[in-house]
Amino acid sequence: NAGVTQTPKFQVLKTGQSMTLQCAQDMNHEYMSWYRQDPGMGLRLIHYSVGAGITDQGEVPNGYNVSRSTTEDFPLRLLSAAPSQTSVYFCASSSRTGGGEKLFFGSGTQLSVL
């Protein structure tokens, strides 16, 4: 069982470059979300989706875009990368709403912006 799959695992960008972090789940989960993890800051919610075609902002949405065209996929786009976006990014999904159900996490993407 694949669960939640994130690609790439590592990425180095230059300031101003754009890229998309991919996330796919095969559990038919309605809810998907993106978190970033920084030392001493815990996990902070960037964007989330409660179903295909529906997305909303989390705690730290600035500089990131998302879309949800299918139930399985929830890509995170950085339009113009900044050094402040250097972080570890985790995608997570759950069977129903994000607040009441346990989250299943992907293995993460370590992003460095130079």
Partner 1 sequence: GQQVMQIPQYQHVQEGEDFTTYCNSSTTLSNIQWYKQRPGGHPVFLIQLVKSGEVKKQKRLTFQFGEAKKNSSLHITATQTTDVGTYFCAGPENTDKLIFGTGTRLQVFP
Our CB check for partner 1 shows the closer of 69 and 97 to be 97
Is 43 a binder of partner 1 (CB under 8 A)?
yes
Is 31 a binder of partner 1 (CB under 8 A)?
yes
Give CA–CA dist 75/83, Å, rounded. 20
Is 58 a binder of partner 1 (CB under 8 A)?
yes
Our CB check for partner 1 shows the closer of 85 and 98 to be 98
Shortest Cβ 70–partner 1 spacing (Å): 19
Binding residue (CB under 8 A) for partner 1 from 29, 64, 87, 98: 98
Is 103 a binder of partner 1 (CB under 8 A)?
yes
In the sheet that holds 64-66, the strands lie side by side as 4-7, 19-25, 76-78, 64-66
Is 70 a binder of partner 1 (CB under 8 A)?
no
* Residues within the interface to partner 1 (CB under 8 A): 31, 33, 35, 40-45, 48, 50, 56, 58-59, 90, 92, 97-100, 102-108
